[in-house]
A and B are shown apart, each in its own frame.
Chain A
């Protein structure tokens, strides 16, 4: 599963 390496939402 493609891990969301960075959360770009507030």
Chain B
């Protein structure tokens, strides 16, 4: 564990808590893409299948359990409790356009052709594009609530911090995982446009609105 990875995990945790807080306080999931949340639940489910077969640390296990539980709870809130406020018209990104190619790639490019390893690879590739329905929804609605932009900033920062973690681990532990690094870079690059808008607008107190 290093400071970058810890900060990254905390940023990820913060993002999830911000999202749950937003939905709980406003009793609404307006502006949030349910498809992205479904993809995140799929990411955690396929990545943490080794939850009971391999123990790394208490921290690792509790975080995995929290991520899985919170992702399904978020879906429950969006598609059941606050269903009336779910904006399905603007959440129109086709998830199959992501899941199918990513599934195929996981079969072709992986570290080892074993079920758990292919599912882990699928989860890494899927996570790198899972935010697309959410970014697509923000671009369609042309704006996002300030709390939603904080959620996206924390979520984007988590994988950016993981990139620093991989640089650190490469130089200090000699650890290098090409699949995770490439997917992590793609994931972070997808946020660049948003990061620019967040820093130039939201941090100056303006509302996040995309140029129409």
Chain A residues packing against B (C-beta within 8 Å): 1, 3-4, 6-10
**Is A10 a contact partner of B63 (Cβ separation < 8 A)?**
yes
Known A3-B111, A4-B111; judge A9-B180 contact (CB<8 A).
yes
A6: contacting residue among B9, B47, B54, CB under 8 A: B54
In whole angstroms, what is the CA distance A1 to B176 when docked? Answer: 12
Chain B: interface secondary structure? helix
**Is A7 a contact partner of B120 (Cβ separation < 8 A)?**
yes
**Is A10 a contact partner of B9 (Cβ separation < 8 A)?**
yes
5 tightest Cβ-Cβ pairs between the two chains A and B: A3-B112, A8-B56, A10-B63, A3-B111, A6-B54
Chain B residues packing against A (C-beta within 8 Å): 5, 9, 12, 47, 50, 54, 56, 60, 63-64, 67, 111-112, 120, 162, 165, 177, 180
14 contacts between A and B (CB under 8 A): A1-B111, A3-B111, A4-B111, A4-B177, A6-B54, A6-B56, A7-B47, A7-B50, A7-B120, A8-B56, A9-B5, A9-B162, A10-B60, A10-B67
Chain A: interface secondary structure? loop
**Is A10 a contact partner of B12 (Cβ separation < 8 A)?**
yes
- Contacts of B12 on A, CB cut-off 8 Å? 10
Within the complex, what minimum Cβ distance (angstroms) separates B59 from chain A? 9
Within the complex, what minimum Cβ distance (angstroms) separates B172 from chain A? 15
In whole angstroms, what is the CA distance A8 to B55 when docked? Answer: 9
Within the complex, what minimum Cβ distance (angstroms) separates B11 from chain A? 12
- Contacts of A1 on B, CB cut-off 8 Å? 111
> Which residue of the partner chain A has the closest CB to B179?
A4
